[in-house]
Amino acid sequence: MQRTSADIAIPLQLLQAYLDTSYHVSVAENSFSMRIGQHSEELATLHSKHGSSASAFITACNPLGSLLSNDANQAAMERLVGYLEERLIPWLPGAGEIVGGSWPPEPSVLAVGVSLADARDLCKIFEQNAVVWASSDAVPALLLHPDAVLTHTEAASAAQGTMLPGPDVNAAARIAEACSSVGTARGVEAFVRNSSGLCHRSIEQRIRAAVSAALGTDR
């Protein structure tokens, strides 16, 4: 059952983990991995092969970060695959794996031909903190759940009620400022490129630096 609208707290540590995740795609002739903000030639080739200009990498496992049993995750993935196949959306198996992390790799799929709006819908329907989406430039972008609230535990109480507007060309600066000062942002996606709200490498690097600064790391 899909949840009702409410804030979803996403700690900056978790955002950093998404940035550090390798998104593996299994293709018979040439399996490959993707990283946020980095062009993937293999993904571009896959788009071309399917005559598509976009794709989404998503899991149905561990909704909203709650670790489920293998059986429950398998059932959730079967629902996701059934959802895609009912809509004739091509998909390839994959897995998301945090580099050097303790969280187990999550079975996932790369759904080909998924629009930005559909990617957001998938995020909500399958209750995921975030999904990965790429357009025709084959640069994966991280799209947070529309109800996501970025938080930093030491600053969250002081930042109660702090809000940022929705994504636009200036949103990266506001997100970076929020991450490095009060450490919270509400109702925004982590990566923005333009008025449609997508990722650009320079912005990804800026936000990565802000997250690291807020966490007190030198990554």
pLDDT at position 74 is: 97
- Quick one: average pLDDT of 62-78? 95
At residue 13, the pLDDT reads: 73
C-alpha–C-alpha distance, residues 141 and 125, integer Å: 19
Confidence of residue 22 (pLDDT cuts 50, 70, 90): very high
pLDDT tens figures, 169-201:
344 444 554 444 333 333 233 333 332 333 445
Q: Is residue 19's pLDDT more than 60? A: yes
Asked if 109 contacts 91 with a C-beta cutoff of 8 angstroms, the reply is yes
Q: Is 218 left (phi over 0), alpha (psi -120 to 50) or beta?
A: alpha
pLDDT given for residue 78 in this prediction: 98
- What percent of the chain has a predicted confidence (pLDDT) above 90? 43
Report pTM.
0.74
pLDDT at 154: 39
* Order of strands across the sheet that contains 21-25: 32-34, 21-25, 91-98, 106-112, 55-58, 130-134, 141-144
Domain ranges of the chain: 20-144, 148-215
For all residues of the chain together, what is the average pLDDT? 75
Residue 125 pLDDT > 60, yes or no? yes
User: How many residues belong to the chain?
Assistant: 219
pLDDT > 50? residue 93: yes
Of 130 and 99, the structure prediction assigns the larger pLDDT to 130
